[in-house]
Amino acid sequence: MNNPPAFPTGTGVTPYNPGMTLRDYFAAKALQGYISARGWHPDFTRAADAVAVASYQYADAMMKAREQ
């Protein structure tokens, strides 16, 4: 799976910093959707692990779709 940097920085004068990966960026967007949805579980301590795993599952699906 090709997982390039989402927001690399560096101009040749400044040091290169790959920043977050594209997979992490996609997961963050999915997580944002979960948290902003009305139906998300209000007990964060119980739901956090499940939401984090699901966010990366969505990210993996988006990464796979990019390869097609």
Three-class DSSP labels, 22-48: HHHHHHHHHHHHHHHCCCCCCCHHHHH
Would you say residue 62 has pLDDT above 90? yes
CA distance 68 to 54: 22
Would you say residue 51 has pLDDT above 80? yes
In this structure, what token pair is assigned to residue 65? 């779709």
Q: What is the pLDDT of residue 26?
A: 94
Q: What is the pLDDT of residue 17?
A: 74
Q: What pLDDT band is residue 40 in, cutting at 50, 70 and 90?
A: low
Q: Domain limits at 45?
A: 1-68
- Residues in a beta bridge with 17: 9
What is the count of structural domains for the chain?
1
